[in-house]
């Protein structure tokens, strides 16, 4: 297998999202270990949650522990008191449940963006179109926006979202806003501006706190819709360890503020390396950078051969998305980029 063949195989397996190290290892068996996975946009700085009580593992999750987590999330996200909130074992399960609480004939997903949104609505029987912008959603019953967007970091201002929500409300349509990466952009969340009844917001925990394996996410919206999501999730949806880890991390506002500053500095450092290597930075957030180059496939191969996995895109062969390297990873990334 040549590197070019490997690149094509891995790109196909990563057509919706990154993180498939097994496919990368098969395609590039001579790459050094351990691999540096920059394909997912997950923070390299994991929240230091410390030791957990044994009861987190030996007992069924307690209602009080769930309530404490939801309180911490409400405070961390500055969610208004009249907005309902539910926790789930990851945002992905919430995405897959949305078609069951929001039956829709026509769905517009503003994209290109995270591929699982369209996949979930298609599986639910909806006709899905990709809209190039929020105001191009047509007559869709549900409009889905990832904000900031993945992979280009495009951010729609809260005022514009509220205007669009009002237009959609007049014809009984719903706006779903996936804020998976908004934690690292202070003041950008729609929650701080209020939440109309026809808007549902998704928030991810693992990306910002570097704990994707904890599997924790939240949905916020009207009491009716959040109640239906809670019923579909069933009892004990979030494991005890995730309840405790999430509560601790979301309550630690000093840590999260320091994290944002660190990620912003790291993103600037990565941009400088990419530009020096001849790539053009065309977007991103403090958790990932989007680079453009005509020879992106060759760059993917070169990085993967050195054990560095970045995110290719089947719909844009000149794009690569880079996550932020961890403390011990910069030297190898720099060595590959500098040739």
pLDDT digits over 111-133, tens only?
Answer: 999 999 999 999 999 999 999 99
Give the global pTM. 0.95
- Enter the tokens of residue 309: 């996995």
Per-residue pLDDT averaged across 137-160, rounded? 97
Residue 60 pLDDT exceeds 50: yes
Per-residue pLDDT averaged across 86-91, rounded? 98
- Enter the tokens of residue 2: 């040549």
Looking at residue 12, its pLDDT comes to 62
CB 272 within 8 A of CB 169: no
| Nearest-angstrom CA–CA distance, 66 and 239 | 9
| Nearest-angstrom CA–CA distance, 193 and 187 | 9
User: Rounded to 5 degrees, what are φ and ψ at 157?
Assistant: -65, 150
| Nearest-angstrom CA–CA distance, 66 and 62 | 7
Per-residue pLDDT band at 170 (split at 50, 70, 90): very high
Looking at residue 19, its pLDDT comes to 83
Looking at residue 83, its pLDDT comes to 97
Per-residue pLDDT averaged across 302-318, rounded? 96
Residue 258 pLDDT exceeds 80: yes
Looking at residue 159, its pLDDT comes to 96
Per-residue pLDDT band at 1 (split at 50, 70, 90): very low
Kind of pairing between the strands at 84-88 and 106-110: unpaired
Name the DSSP class of 324. P
Which residue, among 83, 306, 254, 258, has the nearest Cα to 177 in the 3D structure?
A: 83
Looking at residue 2, its pLDDT comes to 39
- Enter the tokens of residue 18: 């990154």
- Enter the tokens of residue 181: 């990466």
Name 116's Cβ contacts closer than 8 Å, sequence gap at least 6.
16, 17, 92, 95, 96
- Enter the tokens of residue 221: 């919206």
């Amino acid at each position: 297998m040549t590197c070019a063949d490997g690149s094509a195989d891995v790109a196909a397996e990563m057509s919706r999202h990154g993180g498939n190290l097994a496919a990368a290892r098969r395609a590039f068996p001579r790459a050094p270990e351990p691999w540096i996975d920059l394909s997912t946009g997950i923070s390299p700085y994991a929240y230091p949650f410390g030791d957990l009580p044994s009861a987190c593992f030996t007992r069924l999750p307690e209602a009080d522990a769930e309530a404490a987590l939801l309180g911490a999330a409400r405070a961390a996200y500055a969610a208004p008191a009249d907005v309902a909130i539910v926790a789930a074992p990851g945002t992905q399960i919430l995405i897959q449940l949305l078609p069951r609480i929001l039956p829709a004939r026509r769905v517009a997903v503003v994209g290109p963006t995270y591929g699982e949104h369209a996949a979930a609505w298609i599986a639910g029987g909806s006709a899905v179109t990709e809209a190039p912008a929020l105001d191009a959603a047509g007559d869709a019953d549900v409009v889905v926006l990832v904000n900031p967007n993945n992979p280009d970091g495009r951010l729609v201002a809260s005022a514009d979202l509220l205007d669009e929500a009002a237009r959609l409300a007049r014809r009984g349509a719903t706006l779903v806003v996936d804020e998976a990466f908004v934690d690292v952009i202070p003041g950008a969340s729609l929650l701080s501006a209020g939440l109309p009844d026809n808007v549902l917001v998704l928030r991810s925990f693992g990306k910002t706190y570097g704990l994707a394996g904890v599997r924790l996410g939240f949905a916020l919206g009207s009491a009716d819709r959040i109640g239906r999501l809670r019923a579909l999730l069933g009892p004990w949806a979030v494991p005890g360890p995730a309840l405790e880890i999430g509560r601790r991390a979301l309550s630690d506002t000093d840590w999260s503020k320091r994290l944002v500053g660190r990620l912003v500095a790291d993103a600037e450092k990565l941009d400088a390396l990419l530009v020096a290597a001849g790539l053009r930075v065309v977007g991103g957030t403090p958790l990932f950078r989007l680079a453009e180059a005509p020879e992106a496939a060759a760059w993917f191969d070169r990085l993967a051969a050195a054990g560095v996995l970045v995110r290719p895109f089947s719909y844009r062969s000149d794009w690569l998305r880079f996550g932020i390297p961890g403390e011990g990873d910069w030297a190898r990334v720099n060595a590959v980029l500098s040739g």
